[in-house]
Structure 1
Amino acid sequence: MEPLIALITGFLVAGLLGLLGVDALDDWQVALRVGLACMFLLTAFAHFQPRLRAELIDMVPPELPRPDLLVTLTGVLELAGAVGVLIPATARLAAACLIPLMIVMYAANVSAARRHVAQGDPIGPRTALQVVFIAAAALTLV
């Protein structure tokens, strides 16, 4: 739920600043990219915070090698995506790259739910959230 709150809050704050005269934020897609950046910064930091990192490592499907390395890699990719969506020259590419990343990482959520590991949203609500996150990234591409 926290990533959704970060997405919505970032979007609303950026949109409000745009309405108040901050020209760089006076566009709903730019405000949405700010929301995405907030969300991905939050989720990326979870990959490196020790307690949350351990939960994420447990979520990696057991047939994949080096779950610790995969968690680090996805965290770095999330950080890069968060920065990338804020830079006009890379925003579209970053958003386009974040979509398949979210799809791949969703597989870990499904695996974790099936194996009853890690805490988090049940698979139904998690699926709905993932659709919202992917839709938000896709909307920045139009």
Structure 2
Amino acid sequence: MSTLKKISLILLIIGYLLAGINHFRIPAFYIGIIPKYLPFPNILNTLAGLFEIAGGLGLIFKSTRKFAAWGIVLMLIAFIPVHTAMLSGHTRLNGAYVQPVWAWVRLFFQPVLIVWAWWYTWD
């Protein structure tokens, strides 16, 4: 594995571990961006946090890396409705509506994250 890919992997692991932990540290933030049409936002937030932590941990070990990377890719695809809902102007964070520019930035960044995780499915 190249040095660039190793550094990228470390950043990806740290990113998913921290993101997953944040679902438990500040659940109101994440629950606030879950579209209202999805049931059980508390459970969805917990599951998202657990999947992000599991994905980050799975990336650590070569034997589980490919499976974890595919799991992250699928998880990121599943998160797309959350980001598109932000574009509708109905998503609130801390009582304020998400600004469209931030929703577009987040939605634009989603494919980058998907490709980044996908890079480790063929390692």
Q: TM-score, normalised by structure 1?
A: 0.72
Moved >4 Å (runs of 4+): none
Percent sequence identity over aligned pairs:
24
Give the structure 2 partner of residue 122 of structure 1.
Answer: 102
Q: Report the aligned-residue RMSD.
A: 2.0
Change (3 A) 1:110 1:48: same
Checking the alignment, whether the CA contact within 8 Å between 1:37 and 1:82 is kept in structure 2 is yes
CA distance 1:53–1:113, shift in 2 (3 Å): farther
* Structure 2: segments with no counterpart, 5+ residues: none
- Separation in 2, partners of 1:60, 1:124: 16
Paired residue total: 116
- Which structure 2 residues correspond to residues 53-132 of structure 1 after superposition, within 5 A? 53-114=27-88, 115-118=90-93, 119=98, 122-132=102-112
Q: How far apart, in 2, do the equivalents of 1:108 and 1:75 lie?
A: 15
Q: Give the aligned partner of residue 39 of structure 1.
A: 15
Worse-superposed segment, 67-76 or 28-37? 28-37
